[in-house]
Amino acid sequence: MFVERSVDGTLEHGPEKVVMPALGDRIAALFTSETGRSGLYLASSNAGFQSSLLFWSEACRSGVGRANPELFPWTLANAPCGWLARQFGVTGPNATYTGKLEALASAFDQAAAHLTTGEVSTAIIVAVDFAQRQRQSTRFAGVRLSNRDGSILVERVKSGVFTRQGRRTNASTALAAALDALQKCPSVVLSDGCSTWVLKSRRSE
Protein backbone atom coordinates (compact mmCIF):
# COMPACT_ATOMS: atom_id res chain seq x y z
CA MET A 1 0.00 0.00 0.00
CA PHE A 2 1.05 3.61 -0.48
CA VAL A 3 0.82 6.92 1.38
CA GLU A 4 -1.21 9.38 -0.68
CA ARG A 5 -1.16 12.25 1.82
CA SER A 6 0.17 12.95 5.28
CA VAL A 7 -0.29 15.59 7.98
CA ASP A 8 1.13 16.25 11.44
CA GLY A 9 1.26 19.04 14.00
CA THR A 10 0.22 20.21 17.44
CA LEU A 11 -2.83 21.84 19.01
CA GLU A 12 -3.52 23.63 22.27
CA HIS A 13 -4.57 21.87 25.44
CA GLY A 14 -8.29 21.26 25.92
CA PRO A 15 -10.99 18.59 26.39
CA GLU A 16 -11.82 16.39 23.44
CA LYS A 17 -15.02 18.22 22.46
CA VAL A 18 -13.00 21.46 22.15
CA VAL A 19 -9.93 19.99 20.45
CA MET A 20 -11.71 17.86 17.83
CA PRO A 21 -13.08 20.70 15.63
CA ALA A 22 -9.59 22.21 15.50
CA LEU A 23 -8.11 18.80 14.71
CA GLY A 24 -10.70 18.27 11.98
CA ASP A 25 -9.63 21.51 10.32
CA ARG A 26 -5.97 20.49 10.40
CA ILE A 27 -6.42 16.99 8.97
CA ALA A 28 -9.25 17.72 6.50
CA ALA A 29 -6.90 17.09 3.55
CA LEU A 30 -6.90 13.37 4.41
CA PHE A 31 -10.64 13.14 3.81
CA THR A 32 -11.00 14.35 0.22
CA SER A 33 -14.17 13.08 -1.46
CA GLU A 34 -14.01 10.12 -3.80
CA THR A 35 -16.25 7.41 -5.18
CA GLY A 36 -14.63 4.56 -3.25
CA ARG A 37 -15.27 3.49 0.34
CA SER A 38 -13.01 4.84 3.08
CA GLY A 39 -12.06 3.38 6.45
CA LEU A 40 -10.91 5.34 9.49
CA TYR A 41 -8.45 3.95 12.04
CA LEU A 42 -7.53 6.09 15.06
CA ALA A 43 -4.70 5.40 17.52
CA SER A 44 -4.47 7.22 20.85
CA SER A 45 -2.93 6.70 24.26
CA ASN A 46 -5.53 8.76 26.11
CA ALA A 47 -8.67 9.51 24.07
CA GLY A 48 -11.51 10.14 26.53
CA PHE A 49 -9.25 10.62 29.54
CA GLN A 50 -9.53 14.40 29.81
CA SER A 51 -13.33 14.32 29.50
CA SER A 52 -13.57 11.49 32.02
CA LEU A 53 -11.72 13.58 34.60
CA LEU A 54 -13.94 16.60 33.94
CA PHE A 55 -17.13 14.54 34.14
CA TRP A 56 -16.03 12.76 37.33
CA SER A 57 -14.96 16.03 38.97
CA GLU A 58 -18.31 17.61 38.18
CA ALA A 59 -20.19 14.53 39.39
CA CYS A 60 -18.27 14.58 42.68
CA ARG A 61 -18.90 18.28 43.13
CA SER A 62 -22.57 18.49 42.11
CA GLY A 63 -23.76 14.89 42.15
CA VAL A 64 -24.14 12.44 39.26
CA GLY A 65 -27.66 13.67 38.54
CA ARG A 66 -26.41 17.21 38.00
CA ALA A 67 -23.24 16.46 36.03
CA ASN A 68 -23.23 17.90 32.51
CA PRO A 69 -24.55 15.08 30.25
CA GLU A 70 -22.85 16.67 27.23
CA LEU A 71 -19.50 15.52 28.60
CA PHE A 72 -20.44 11.87 29.02
CA PRO A 73 -20.18 10.72 25.37
CA TRP A 74 -16.69 12.22 25.22
CA THR A 75 -15.54 10.01 28.10
CA LEU A 76 -15.52 7.06 25.67
CA ALA A 77 -12.24 6.31 23.91
CA ASN A 78 -13.93 5.94 20.51
CA ALA A 79 -15.65 9.36 20.66
CA PRO A 80 -12.94 11.20 18.64
CA CYS A 81 -13.02 8.56 15.89
CA GLY A 82 -16.82 8.70 15.78
CA TRP A 83 -16.73 12.50 15.60
CA LEU A 84 -14.32 12.40 12.64
CA ALA A 85 -16.40 9.74 10.86
CA ARG A 86 -19.54 11.89 11.15
CA GLN A 87 -17.76 15.12 10.30
CA PHE A 88 -16.23 13.76 7.09
CA GLY A 89 -18.91 11.27 6.08
CA VAL A 90 -16.83 8.11 6.50
CA THR A 91 -19.26 5.26 5.87
CA GLY A 92 -16.74 2.43 5.90
CA PRO A 93 -15.28 0.78 8.99
CA ASN A 94 -13.99 3.00 11.77
CA ALA A 95 -12.05 1.75 14.77
CA THR A 96 -10.11 3.10 17.73
CA TYR A 97 -6.92 1.51 19.05
CA THR A 98 -5.80 2.54 22.53
CA GLY A 99 -2.16 2.48 23.52
CA LYS A 100 1.10 3.84 22.24
CA LEU A 101 3.17 2.43 19.37
CA GLU A 102 1.29 -0.87 19.55
CA ALA A 103 -1.95 0.99 18.82
CA LEU A 104 -0.42 2.54 15.71
CA ALA A 105 0.84 -0.86 14.55
CA SER A 106 -2.64 -2.34 15.03
CA ALA A 107 -4.15 0.48 12.99
CA PHE A 108 -1.73 -0.25 10.15
CA ASP A 109 -2.49 -3.99 10.39
CA GLN A 110 -6.25 -3.45 10.12
CA ALA A 111 -6.00 -0.83 7.40
CA ALA A 112 -3.81 -3.14 5.31
CA ALA A 113 -6.20 -6.04 5.81
CA HIS A 114 -9.18 -3.97 4.64
CA LEU A 115 -7.27 -2.62 1.63
CA THR A 116 -6.17 -6.14 0.68
CA THR A 117 -9.69 -7.60 0.81
CA GLY A 118 -11.16 -4.58 -0.98
CA GLU A 119 -13.42 -3.67 1.93
CA VAL A 120 -12.09 -0.14 1.53
CA SER A 121 -10.31 1.66 -1.31
CA THR A 122 -8.83 4.28 1.02
CA ALA A 123 -7.63 3.88 4.62
CA ILE A 124 -7.10 6.91 6.83
CA ILE A 125 -4.95 6.47 9.92
CA VAL A 126 -5.02 9.24 12.52
CA ALA A 127 -2.81 9.18 15.61
CA VAL A 128 -3.71 11.74 18.30
CA ASP A 129 -2.49 12.08 21.87
CA PHE A 130 -4.33 14.73 23.87
CA ALA A 131 -2.47 17.18 26.12
CA GLN A 132 -3.10 16.51 29.80
CA ARG A 133 -1.79 19.79 31.22
CA GLN A 134 -2.17 23.44 30.26
CA ARG A 135 1.43 23.80 29.12
CA GLN A 136 1.37 20.64 27.01
CA SER A 137 0.27 20.38 23.39
CA THR A 138 -2.01 17.85 21.74
CA ARG A 139 0.05 15.98 19.15
CA PHE A 140 -1.38 14.51 15.96
CA ALA A 141 -0.25 12.82 12.75
CA GLY A 142 -2.15 11.10 9.97
CA VAL A 143 -1.78 9.32 6.67
CA ARG A 144 -4.12 8.53 3.81
CA LEU A 145 -3.36 5.06 2.40
CA SER A 146 -4.46 3.22 -0.72
CA ASN A 147 -3.25 0.60 -3.19
CA ARG A 148 -2.76 3.30 -5.82
CA ASP A 149 0.86 3.91 -6.76
CA GLY A 150 2.44 6.68 -4.69
CA SER A 151 5.73 8.18 -3.56
CA ILE A 152 5.83 6.35 -0.20
CA LEU A 153 5.50 2.57 -0.09
CA VAL A 154 4.32 0.94 3.15
CA GLU A 155 5.16 -2.74 3.65
CA ARG A 156 4.79 -5.14 6.56
CA VAL A 157 7.97 -7.06 7.40
CA LYS A 158 7.06 -10.73 7.41
CA SER A 159 10.25 -12.10 8.95
CA GLY A 160 10.55 -12.37 12.70
CA VAL A 161 11.51 -8.96 14.00
CA PHE A 162 11.61 -8.16 17.67
CA THR A 163 12.80 -4.95 19.25
CA ARG A 164 11.77 -3.11 22.37
CA GLN A 165 13.25 0.15 21.18
CA GLY A 166 10.67 2.92 21.15
CA ARG A 167 7.73 0.73 22.14
CA ARG A 168 6.52 3.27 24.70
CA THR A 169 6.55 6.12 22.21
CA ASN A 170 3.15 7.71 21.64
CA ALA A 171 1.55 6.83 18.31
CA SER A 172 1.35 10.45 17.16
CA THR A 173 5.02 11.11 17.97
CA ALA A 174 6.18 7.93 16.23
CA LEU A 175 4.19 8.58 13.06
CA ALA A 176 5.20 12.25 12.88
CA ALA A 177 8.87 11.32 13.38
CA ALA A 178 8.67 8.67 10.65
CA LEU A 179 7.14 11.10 8.17
CA ASP A 180 9.80 13.69 9.01
CA ALA A 181 12.63 11.16 8.69
CA LEU A 182 11.47 10.18 5.21
CA GLN A 183 12.44 13.66 4.04
CA LYS A 184 16.06 12.70 4.71
CA CYS A 185 16.22 8.89 4.70
CA PRO A 186 15.10 6.35 2.06
CA SER A 187 13.23 4.20 4.58
CA VAL A 188 11.89 4.22 8.14
CA VAL A 189 10.85 1.33 10.38
CA LEU A 190 7.84 1.43 12.73
CA SER A 191 7.73 -1.52 15.13
CA ASP A 192 5.97 -2.28 18.40
CA GLY A 193 8.07 -5.40 18.89
CA CYS A 194 5.56 -7.74 17.23
CA SER A 195 4.29 -5.97 14.13
CA THR A 196 6.84 -4.17 11.95
CA TRP A 197 6.11 -1.77 9.10
CA VAL A 198 8.62 -0.19 6.74
CA LEU A 199 7.90 3.12 5.00
CA LYS A 200 10.04 3.57 1.88
CA SER A 201 10.46 6.77 -0.06
CA ARG A 202 10.37 6.22 -3.83
CA ARG A 203 11.25 9.79 -4.77
CA SER A 204 14.86 8.86 -5.52
CA GLU A 205 14.02 5.76 -7.58
- The answer to whether residue 178 scores a pLDDT higher than 90 is yes
Give the pairing of strands 38-44 and 2-11. Answer: unpaired
Span 164-169, average pLDDT = 60
What is the residue extent of each domain of the chain?
2-149
- Cβ–Cβ under 8 Å, residues 194 and 105: yes
- The answer to whether residue 139 scores a pLDDT higher than 50 is yes
Alpha helices in the chain (DSSP H): 16-27, 49-62, 79-88, 101-117, 171-181
- The answer to whether residue 35 scores a pLDDT higher than 80 is no
What CATH class is the domain 2-149?
Answer: alpha beta
- The answer to whether residue 163 scores a pLDDT higher than 50 is no
